[in-house]
Amino acid sequence: MASEFKKIVLLKGLHCMEDYQFRAIKSLLRKELKLTKKMQDEYDRIQMADLMEDRYPKDAGLAKLIELCKDMEELKEIAEKLKTEKEKVKNQKEKKGKSAAKKRKQDESSSLQTFSTSNESNSSKNKIEQTRKTEAGKKKKLTADQTQLPEPSETNTQKDEGCFQTPHKPLPIPSGSSSSKKSQTTNPSTSKGDVLQMDPMTVMVLNSTHPFEYETSEHGGKTMFHAKVATENQYYHVKVFNVSLREKFTKKNFIIISNFVKGKEILEINENSSVVEAGPDLKFEVPNSIIKRANETPKIRHIEKGASGALFYGLFTLNKKTVKVKNTIYEIKDNEENHIEVVGNGKCYNINCEEGDKLQLYCFQLRTIDKQPKLVSGDHSLIEVGKRGIVPKKPSKEEGQHQGPKQVMVLKVTEPFTYDMTEDKRMFHATVATETEFFRVKVFDTALRKKFIPQKIIIISDYFGANGFLEIYKDSCVSDVNVKQIMVISNTLRQRANETPKISHLLTQTNGTFVNGEFVVTKKNKRKELIYYGIEDETGKMEVVVYGRLTRINCEPGNKLRLICFELTQSEDLWQLRSSRHSYMQVISAGM
């Protein structure tokens, strides 16, 4: 049973935690598990599960993990799940025990019955022998009497023969009858050749969509999302029907999937599938050729030659849109100027798009309609729209109080940190975007951290704009968005939001500009209560000045620093990035 408890600890506990929560659990177990500083920093979830199994052999540390999770507000839901899984294992053990006891009783009863039957058998043999002797005497007497009886008449003979019926031969079962075949239940979303794969497969996530609602004839509205993953030699499109797994499907994340439906190029993951993060020893490098193939859009001339029913994905340009009563016809073209019609039904009906927009198609089926090949939407189809326009190079600025609402997607977020040690004030930074611009955000209510999840769409309102940041002060300023909402953030916009400005570019900016970026540290110098770091890139050099709480962060030359909300200032002829009250600094790599 300990092995079952370990499975719960690892798959239902540790693997469901965010990195910060997992680090907190390691800290709380440091003394009991005798973790060294190196072990505490480097041990992953699998290694921790092994260690807990050794320390708590009875239940692999499940009770201890439940106790710790109960005391952490953000882990109480996990604690309840762990308790439920623990009870399931106990109940299964009790049922097995009762079954074993019942079987023993049946075996004992069977033995007694066998003994009784044996005695009865001996008694019966004596009776049968006595009966045989009696019947033999009667038969002998009957034979003697029969010699004096008359011959049977013809009528009597026919009557006696009528008492014997010839057995009927079974009637043949028609070939189309349900009785002639075993009934089979198939998954309507799978195709011939798809198989249920129980064995684990490690993959790297290439990308994923937001969750969206789809309709099924059996269950009504359901939610899912699409993703793309790759092994070392193949890529797959993935349909994920468990939206709670969305956080695991982040770009470049390595995951282990099992108990899923596998087709030639499409995988399906549902509520019964297992998805866990892979340890560092299971990671591998996906060849650029595989990534390139995965991101390629098929040529329309190739699509038209495809087999009927084949599924297609790709990014196309909208050439013309025609809205009809029952469906919408989107005429799309590729970079060869070839055209094909896309038939949009249901949620793909009359989406907000116009000529020249980019349409990202997911899971569209090739059909022949009016003797012409067309791509037709199905239950799991999705269209994402990329709007035309110039992608901004800088974060957008808004000044003063704004009621909103503004619908945005979260791109990046930091962990909460204390920015005022004397009054214990906390906050975190985030980067969000609409389909056309991106913003830097300061959030002063750390309870909102659970809503600021990368790739999640939220609505912000009643916020304040100042110094190039949107400032959010209370929980009521942020609300969730209906899962039906679609927001497409172009790769170019994402890149602009995440890129580090060149030092040569910073030297042209105005004094007081706030800067985010990642820089290589070349030197370090302590002067009184300040630390001066030298940073550089291929375009120039600059100085970073740090004071207060940030001086306690251990950073050495060769490290890479992530700076958020550092103010650009000029001291005589020297340009500096100086830390401010709301600055955030993180060492993200070493040995460069």
Q: Where are the beta strands (DSSP E) in 76-175?
A: none
What local confidence, expressed as pLDDT, does residue 106 receive?
A: 58
| Of residues 66, 86, 87, 64, the one with CA closest to residue 75 | 66
Q: Which residues of 544-582 are buried (b: 16+ CB within 10 A; e: fewer)?
A: bbbeebbeeeebeeebbbbbbbbbbeeeeeebebbbeeb
Per the structure block, which two tokens stand in for 242? 């468990």
DSSP-derived letter for residue 486 is -
Instruction: Give whole-number Cα distances, 188 to 151, 223, 260, 346, in Å.
Output: 75, 16, 15, 18
What local confidence, expressed as pLDDT, does residue 481 receive?
A: 78
Gap between the terminal Cα atoms of the chain: 47
Per the structure block, which two tokens stand in for 301? 């001339």
CATH 2.40.50.140 residue spans of the chain:
195-294, 297-386, 400-495, 500-589
**CA–CA distance, 30 with 37 (Å, rounded to integer):** 9
Per-residue confidence in pLDDT tens, the chain, 592 aa? 667 888 898 888 898 888 888 888 998 998 889 888 888 888 888 889 889 988 888 888 999 999 999 888 888 889 988 988 888 888 877 776 666 556 655 554 454 344 444 444 444 445 445 544 444 454 444 444 443 333 333 333 333 333 323 333 333 333 233 333 333 333 334 455 678 889 999 999 999 998 888 877 655 568 899 999 999 999 999 999 999 899 899 999 999 999 999 987 899 999 999 999 999 889 999 998 899 899 899 999 999 999 999 999 999 999 999 999 999 999 999 888 899 999 999 889 999 888 888 899 999 999 999 999 999 999 999 999 876 666 788 899 888 888 778 889 999 999 999 999 888 899 999 999 998 899 999 999 999 999 999 989 999 998 999 888 999 999 889 988 765 566 778 788 888 999 999 998 898 888 889 999 999 999 999 988 999 999 999 988 999 999 999 999 999 999 999 999 999 998 777 889 999 999 999 998 654 4
Handedness of CA 495, 499, 501, 502 (dihedral sign): negative
CATH 1.10.533.10 residue spans of the chain:
1-126
Which 3-state string (H, E, C) describes 35-100? CCHHHHHHCCHHHHHHHHHHHCCCCCCHHHHHHHHHCCHHHHHHHHHHHHHHHHHHHHHHHHHHHH
**Domain 195-294: CATH superfamily, name plus number:** Nucleic acid-binding proteins (2.40.50.140)
CATH of domain 500-589: 2.40.50.140
**Domain 400-495: CATH superfamily, name plus number:** Nucleic acid-binding proteins (2.40.50.140)
Contact 229, 245 (CB under 8 A): no
Could you please state the CATH topology (level 3) that the domain comprising 297-386 is classified under.
OB fold (Dihydrolipoamide Acetyltransferase, E2P) (2.40.50)
Contact 426, 449 (CB under 8 A): no
**CA–CA distance, 322 with 340 (Å, rounded to integer):** 13
Contact 487, 437 (CB under 8 A): no
- Statement: 1-126 belongs to CATH 1.10.533.10: yes
What are the beta bridge partners of residue 464?
401, 471
pTM as predicted: 0.41
Per the structure block, which two tokens stand in for 212? 């969206």
Packing angle between helix 62-70 and helix 76-146, nearest 10 degrees? 140
Contact 519, 561 (CB under 8 A): yes
